[in-house]
Amino acid sequence: MSSEIRRIKSILIERNNRKMIGEQEMDCPDASKNLELNTINRNKSIEADYIKYGPLNVDEPGDYWENLAKHWDTTEKAAKKSLCGNCVAFDISPRMEECMPGVTSDEDGKLGYCWMHNFKCHSARTCYTWAKGGPITKDNVSHDWQSRK
Ligand code: SF4
């Protein structure tokens, strides 16, 4: 069975389980469906001094990692291990995968939804508000983040 078929099967099983226990479906977050809103939120996250989402180009990061390491008072090597991909707010749950626009992975990683700053972020990037504990891989945890927004 291809990984895509397995993924779809797991989404359908998860959805059916939710219905069986009476759990409500939640809509996709607004920014995941609205390109303009997503872009506004992403750009704010790039520009805000307390967020600094980046690097823009993971292959040409400029001094991004050096600055991040200075911000965290750590080494560049350690800073590069703190990515959206393992951030507590990075949502790649089955329900969120359904909210993504088609294929969202590339050789560097994949897109997920950032519940801290409300936009689709990439697992190979990061920001100054990164927090350990992710990613979010379960629908019930994703629902919990959404219900607290
Ligand atoms: S997922 Fe985490 S590291 Fe990535 S932009 Fe959101 S808060 Fe920052």
Kindly indicate the confidence band of residue 149, based on its pLDDT and cuts at 50, 70 and 90. confident
Q: What is the pLDDT of residues 35-79, one digit of tens each?
A: 999 999 999 999 999 999 999 989 999 999 999 999 999 999 999
The answer to whether position 81 is within a domain reads yes
pLDDT at 106: 84
Between the CA of 24 and the centroid of ligand 1 the distance, in Å, is 27
The answer to whether position 20 is within a domain reads no
Quote the percentage of the chain above a pLDDT of 70. Answer: 83
The answer to whether position 3 is within a domain reads no
Kindly indicate the confidence band of residue 2, based on its pLDDT and cuts at 50, 70 and 90. low
The minimum-distance atom of ligand 1 relative to the CA of 51 is 8
Cβ atoms of 138 and 92 closer than 8 Å:
no
Between the CA of 84 and the centroid of ligand 1 the distance, in Å, is 5
The answer to whether position 5 is within a domain reads no
- Give the three-state DSSP class for 109: strand
* Ligand 1 proximal residues by C-beta, below 6 Å: 53, 84, 87, 89-90, 114, 116-117, 121, 126-127, 129-130
Between the CA of 5 and the centroid of ligand 1 the distance, in Å, is 29
Domain that holds residue 138: 28-147
pTM for this entry: 0.83
Mean pLDDT of the chain: 89
The minimum-distance atom of ligand 1 relative to the CA of 115 is 6
Among 31, 48, 46, 49, residue whose Cα is nearest residue 91: 31
Residue type, 18: R
C-alpha dihedral, 108 to 113 to 119 to 123, nearest 10°: -20
Provide the domain count of the chain: 1
